[in-house]
Amino acid sequence: MYILFLTNTYSGGYHFRKELVESLIQHGHDVTYAAPVRSGVTIDKGLPFHVVDMPFNRRGLNPLKDLWLTIRYVRLLKKLKPDVVLSFTIKPNIYGGLACRLCDISQLANVTGLGIAVERKGWLQNLTIWLYRIGLSKARTVFFQNRYNIDFCEEHRMVKTRKVLLPGSGVNLQHFYLQEYPTEQPLRFLFLGRMLKEKGFNEYVEAARRIRKRYPDTEFHIVGTCKNNSFQAESLKNEGIEWHGWQADVRPFINRSHCLVHPSYYPEGMSNVLLESCATGRPIITTDMPGCREIVDDGINGFVISPRDVDDLVEKIERFIALPHEQKREMGLAARRKVESEFNRQIVVDAYLKEIDSL
């Protein structure tokens, strides 16, 4: 069977779906991966599948440009003639779904989060809901990463086809393996992800400033991309908050941290940074939001905070600081046990193999 992947980024998307791609190839399927390839990213010539650079603005809201994306997808489908399309993220799901409908090709869509446009009431929400209805109307199966997204889609009649709940993208437990909990001081807290306000970046920085005044030996680290030209990394470093930029391999930064802080109120599917940190054996502090709350058991493998609440975040960080070292370590072990039982990426791979075998 010839399988085409449609997603919104090559490097990031393949990172979360590498095991699925490899498993499909091992089962005798041919695979092509179509996604925007970021400038400066080199495609490995030795990959056992073909990569098509399909650039588009994943955050743009221009309907005319998005209509043009549908036309490009239709041209790609007519050229490649895949047996089934596996789509991920908002625009590949919607506009790739429209193309599949026009070309009469089976689609398995994965809702990795509904997007900010759907979460905010108004004309843009109404338009986006309508686009979901049209784009996914002929999908064979729609995979979801959290129960909230399923309930929202059912309430607004966005998806009428078969729905399957997955544990996010899962986590590769061999790549993110259990690491010994750090014994050295000072305590290190880590923010991992895009430096967006919706990811809770501003709350993290403000909490770090307050904590540093009371506990000057603590360290706060940031790993991720920044699109804000006014961002002053040197100024933050002087306050004990260090930015390490984008990193191809985040594991060394997780390994050295004592706790991951993820104060996101972004409409997540399932937070990969939380899964990766838990798999490594690190406690987490995160929000009571879909895609985050499923991963944290309050007081067992971390702490839950209210979204956009700096005071609550500071309080939970202080509670973590006050814990004995052995209790912090046990929280990390509980985090590992949770992802082993609930978020193993093999669960996701098996669900896709089952669905494809049924075609």
Domain locations along the chain: 2-170+344-357, 188-342
Percent of the chain exceeding pLDDT 90 equals 79
- pLDDT tens digits along 245-295: 989 899 999 999 999 999 999 988 999 999 999 999 999 999 999 999 999
- pLDDT tens digits along 70-107: 999 999 999 999 999 999 999 999 999 999 999 999 99
Average pLDDT over residues 51-68: 82
61 pLDDT more than 70? no
Please tell me whether the overall predicted TM-score, pTM, comes out greater than 0.95 for this model.
no
pLDDT at 230: 57
Tell the CATH topology of 2-170+344-357.
Rossmann fold (3.40.50)
Q: How confident is the model at residue 116 (pLDDT cuts 50, 70, 90)?
A: confident
pLDDT at 334: 98
Q: How confident is the model at residue 229 (pLDDT cuts 50, 70, 90)?
A: low
Question: How is residue 96 written in tokens?
Answer: 């790739």
The mean pLDDT of the chain is: 93
Superfamily of domain 188-342: Glycogen Phosphorylase B; (3.40.50.2000)
pLDDT at 321: 97
Between CA 304 and CA 35 the distance in angstroms is 35
Question: How is residue 25 written in tokens?
Answer: 């190839």
Helix segments in 201-344, DSSP class H? 201-214, 233-238, 251-256, 272-280, 310-322, 325-342
231 pLDDT more than 70? no
In 3D, which of 100, 122, 118 has the Cα closest to residue 109? 100
Between CA 295 and CA 302 the distance in angstroms is 9
